[in-house]
Amino acid sequence: MEENKSKRPRRTRAEIEANVFEAIRRLADTKGLSNITFADICQDADVQLIVLNRNYGSIEKLIDKYAYTCDYWLHDLFYSQHLAEQAGEDILKNTLKALAEYLYDNPDMQRLLTWELSADNEITRRMARSREMYYKSAIEEYNRMFENTGIPFNTIAGLLIAGTYCLILRRKRSTFVGVDYQTKENRQRLYSALDYLCRLVFQSLEEHNRTIEIARRMKKKGIDNTTIAECTELPATVIEQL
């Protein structure tokens, strides 16, 4: 009877996987994701090696599944915003803020992005490629919006996203340009800065569109293309197409 009482209740596969993922989180903080082995997980999660082999086949496949379940939030974020149909300033602001908020509050994503930056293997390459696929339709729509404006939107978006990653991932190491991003106040300051930079980008687009409209009116009045180019600083090829 005593022996039966001391036995651990049988776990479902979902419960075992939850315990395994918790073990990965703990081990990642001490050993790093690249150094975790099945033996480590067996000991930490109290699971037999035969179970890990049967369910995952290899440590690489297990880490890949863990990475996928943590990274899938990005798919939900972009598809819930319907960016391909509603690209605009407010959507961009909301998406960047949601990206920053999620990364601040999700240690799993912090571990994965840190690993992705430091390790080159099939899993980290897959994570990077899948993230590109999530961004793709949204970025393509914005690129069309900024086409022929001289505003390199995709590069600007890359700087905003990469800068956000960097500031959040290294916030425990030191201040960055004198700002401590661990504080609640400066976390809000980061969100405000993202809003401000998005506004500048769209102001540039609005100014470009106003210049195009001025050039179009000048052309209707019979003003020659050379003069229009001198006054508006638009490329001759753009003016010719008006």
**Contact between residue 234 and residue 149 where contact means Cβ atoms under 8 Å apart:** no
Length of the chain: 242
Give mean pLDDT, residues 185-198. 97
Angle between helices 59-71 and 38-45 (to 10 degrees): 70
Give mean pLDDT, residues 61-79. 76
Asked whether residue 26 carries a pLDDT value surpassing 50, the answer given is: yes
Report the percent of the chain where pLDDT is more than 90: 53
Task: Spell out a b/e string for 170-199, using b for 16 or more CB atoms within 10 Å of the CB, else e.
Answer: ebeeeeeeeeebeeeebbeebbebbbebbe
pTM for this predicted structure: 0.82
Locate 92 and state its tokens.
């961009």
| Residue 79 pLDDT level (bands cut at 50, 70, 90) | low
Comparing 235 with 4, the larger pLDDT belongs to 235
pLDDT computed for residue 45 by the predictor = 93
Cβ neighbours of residue 100 closer than 8 Å, sequence gap 6 or more: 164, 168, 190, 191, 194
Comparing 127 with 19, the larger pLDDT belongs to 19
Asked whether residue 183 carries a pLDDT value surpassing 90, the answer given is: yes
| Residue 132 pLDDT level (bands cut at 50, 70, 90) | confident
Locate 235 and state its tokens.
């490329």
d(CA 31, CA 37) in angstroms, rounded, equals: 10
**Contact between residue 56 and residue 62 where contact means Cβ atoms under 8 Å apart:** yes
Please write the tens of the pLDDT for every residue from 80-116. Answer: 554 545 678 998 999 899 999 989 998 988 988 998 8
Give mean pLDDT, residues 31-43. 92
187: helix, strand or coil: helix
d(CA 60, CA 53) in angstroms, rounded, equals: 11
Cβ neighbours of residue 15 closer than 8 Å, sequence gap 6 or more: none
d(CA 202, CA 153) in angstroms, rounded, equals: 10
Please write the tens of the pLDDT for every residue from 202-240. Answer: 999 999 999 999 999 998 999 999 998 899 888 888 888
d(CA 38, CA 52) in angstroms, rounded, equals: 7
| Residue 1 pLDDT level (bands cut at 50, 70, 90) | very low
